[in-house]
Amino acid sequence: AIPDEELLEVHRALKLRLLRFLRDRARRRWTDARAAPAQVVAAGALLDPEALTIGFARRFAGYKRATLVFRDPSRLTQLLTDARRPVQIIFAGKAHPVDEPGKQLLQAVYRAATDPAYAGRVAFVEDYDMHVAQHLVQGVDVWLNTPRPPLEASGTSGQKASLNGVPNLSVLDGWWAEAYDGTNGWAIGAPFTEGEDPEARDAADAESLYHVLETAVIPLYYERDTNGIPARWLHVMRRAIQTVAPHFSARRMVKEYIE
Q: Is the pLDDT of residue 30 over 90?
A: no
Region 227-243: what's the mean pLDDT?
A: 97
Q: Is the pLDDT of residue 143 over 80?
A: yes
**pLDDT band at residue 33 using 50, 70 and 90 as cut-offs:** low
Q: Is the pLDDT of residue 72 over 90?
A: yes
Residue pair 124/43 in contact by the 8 Å Cβ criterion: yes
Q: Is the pLDDT of residue 25 over 70?
A: yes
Region 238-253: what's the mean pLDDT?
A: 94
**pLDDT band at residue 115 using 50, 70 and 90 as cut-offs:** very high
Weakest-pLDDT range from 32-41, 75-84, 196-205: 32-41
Which backbone phi and psi does 22 adopt, to 5 degrees?
-70, -40
User: Considering the entire predicted model, what is its pTM?
Assistant: 0.95
For helices 156-163 and 231-244, what crossing angle results, to 10°? 120
